[in-house]
Structure 1
Amino acid sequence: MPRRTATMLASTLLLIALLCAGVLIKVPYAEMSPGPTVNTLGEARGEPVLHVAGRKTYPTSGHLNMTTVRVTGADYDMNIVEAVYGWLAHDSIVVPHDTLYPDGKTEEQSTQENAEEFSQSQESAKVAALRELEIPVSSYTIVSSVLKNSPSEGTLHAGDVIKAVDGTAVKAPADVAKLVTEHKPGEDVVFTIVPAKAAKAAEKAGKEPDASEKVTITTKKSDDGDRAVVGIQAGTDHTFPFTVDINLADVGGPSAGLMFALGIVDKLTPGSLTGGKFIAGTGTIDDAGTVGPIGGIGMKLVGARNAGARYFLTPEQNCASAAADIPAGLTLVKVKTLADARRSLEKISAGETTGLPSCSAS
């Protein structure tokens, strides 16, 4: 066999061997890429994303798109070829697997956690939007969860409203732990509660939960010290003066909070908040309307621009990262609060864009 032919054959066989090795050898990485965007003013699967009942609403126009990131599953084994392709591609990034799934979380656990965060973000978006419009919203402390095999199991239930502990009124979730830890392990603590079923009935009727009853629980020593605990997680729930439903499936995490809140504000106020323009954005939100940072900002910018967005509402803490690589034709608008975002939208709607708060890469 001629030397040249032998060399080419050997090179070809080596290349095939390397490609096979690249496909077979797994690496501990995961991939992030732009996910779908959804207009919170529009519809998803034939249903309005935001539905308000019991309150006058107004026509809207344009787009207020929430953005998402698509990630590989926790159980997906990436190979070397896929990792290299992801590193070279502009519209995706490859990160260590533990970045997306820390502490060995399974895909099921991660999905459940994302669903809970998404649900909480919807609740906070409603509260923040109504408070931005100075519409009263009542808040109260509830049992968020009960630990298995804890002193509270079978006595307290998720959704129970906590009115008082040992006769002292509870005004915030932190009050519950403070009052319980005033006891020594083994001592009794008395909860004044409204059972979850009665609380839900009151919520549907738009009334404050009442019909309280007292239950006694014997505390035990915490696993990490000598504190007295009863084995519950306290949280916050609200009573709204009218119904606001957010209808969106197959989405997780807290990062859509800001855009949901803006969509609700737009529907409840006269005129178009966007002026018919295509605006996208991201950001967590709390009950007070404070906007927080999110992950995957670069992928969300790409997804928004691909969908047609011209402006992107960017949490202040994500600004530097976002400004490092802005897709052509997209203007970043820095936001700290829901009120900030609302003022910026009003400027965009009016065509007054020169004074918009911008993001800097420094």
Structure 2
Amino acid sequence: MLSRLTRLQAVAVCALPVVALLATAVFAPLPFAVAQPGMTADVLGENKDTPVITISGAPTRTTRGQLRMTTIEATGPDADVHLGDVVDGWFRTDRAVLPRDSVYPSGDSVKEIEKHNTAQMKESQDAATEAALRYLHLSDKNVKVTLRLADVGGPSAGLLFTLGIIDKLDGDGSGGDLTGGRTVAGTGTITADGTVGAVGGVALKTQAARRDGATVFLVPKAECGDAGSELPKGLRLVPVTTLKSAVDALDALEKGRSGIPSC
């Protein structure tokens, strides 16, 4: 039989690898990114003292209300995320733990990621301009639209850019504001033909929107479930699939009509 001292020594020796594994798990970097609600910006207003939307070649109107594009913020591609960060993120409604490769393409440097996001933003702005001018039947006119939004990349502001251009040029089509004077937020990609696409991170974006005063949130219909998972009180979700469906929903809200789609 082993003496008590011998048994304790044996247990201590066996415990050393376990302790080492636990220490490695706690302190070793993990292949995740932690995201949280990011900034929002009113596309009808200014960003860093510069109008987000500038239009020449056609008369514009003074708008009321806000159209706020939304973002998420994630730990950088070079940031170390540890087990404690992951566990904390799992138990918080204002955090999301995502595979790093789903946020940042594997192997890309910070500069390459910034270049990619900037290119996506430019493509989104071009598509937003074309979609808005097509919708207003101004594609063949000499209308120039300039979109400026500093420190934001990616394509997810496309829908809000498009709605902002329409509001500045035409409003609701009868002299009123597309927003009805509300603070409307949303997200979604846009194509030149007005198709709205999914973007990801919508549950965090709804939180950013409500934090900054929005009462209505336009969400790609395919992401209704995600958007409603942590929906802040006082924020109404309106699912959209096309530019026309978004404009129609805002027009119905402004005029107090029933039958507005919901998630």
**TM-score of the superposed pair, with normalisation by structure 2:** 0.86
328-337 or 18-27, which moves further after superposition? 18-27
Q: 1:22, CA displacement in angstroms?
A: 6.8
Distance 1:331 1:53 in 2: 34
- Check conservation: 1:51, 1:244, Cα contact below 8 A: yes
In the alignment, does 2:256 pair up with 1:355?
Answer: no
Map of 1:268 onto structure 2: 169
Listed one character per residue, the Cα deviations across residues 46-85 of structure 1 (whole Å, up to 9, x for unaligned) are 1111111221001101111100111111111112222222
Distance 1:303 1:18 in 2: 38
Distance 1:90 1:320 in 2: 15
Distance 2:87 2:229 in 1: 22
Distance 1:100 1:136 in 2: 35
- Give the counterpart letter for 1:106 in structure 2: S
Map of 2:5 onto structure 1: none
Provide structure 2 residue ranges, at least 5 long, that are not aligned to the other structure. 1-19
Q: 1:21, CA displacement in angstroms?
A: 6.2
Map of 1:37 onto structure 2: 40
Map of 1:117 onto structure 2: 120
Map of 1:50 onto structure 2: 53
SS state at 1:308 partner: coil
Aligned match for 2:191, one of 286, 290, 294: 286
In the alignment, does 2:164 pair up with 1:245?
Answer: no
Distance 1:97 1:125 in 2: 29
Provide structure 1 residue ranges, at least 5 long, that are not aligned to the other structure. 1-16, 138-239
Distance 1:116 1:246 in 2: 14
Map of 1:255 onto structure 2: 156
Listed one character per residue, the Cα deviations across residues 174-211 of structure 1 (whole Å, up to 9, x for unaligned) are xxxxxxxxxxxxxxxxxxxxxxxxxxxxxxxxxxxxxx
In the alignment, does 2:209 pair up with 1:304?
Answer: yes
Distance 2:80 2:215 in 1: 36
Q: Which has the higher strand share?
A: 1
Map of 1:236 onto structure 2: none
**Aligned-pair Cα RMSD in Å:** 1.9
Map of 1:4 onto structure 2: none
Map of 1:85 onto structure 2: 88
Aligned match for 2:77, one of 74, 77, 98: 74
Distance 1:88 1:111 in 2: 30
- Check conservation: 1:22, 1:81, Cα contact below 8 A: no
Computing the radius of gyration from Cα coordinates, the structure with the larger value is 1
Distance 2:107 2:233 in 1: 38
Q: How high is the sequence identity, in percent, across the aligned residues?
A: 44
Listed one character per residue, the Cα deviations across residues 137-162 of structure 1 (whole Å, up to 9, x for unaligned) are 4xxxxxxxxxxxxxxxxxxxxxxxxx
- Check conservation: 2:203, 2:228, Cα contact below 8 A: no
**TM-score of the superposed pair, with normalisation by structure 1:** 0.63
SS state at 2:106 partner: helix
- Give the counterpart letter for 2:101 in structure 1: D
Distance 1:356 1:50 in 2: 28
Q: 1:54 to 1:88 in 2, by over 3 A?
A: same
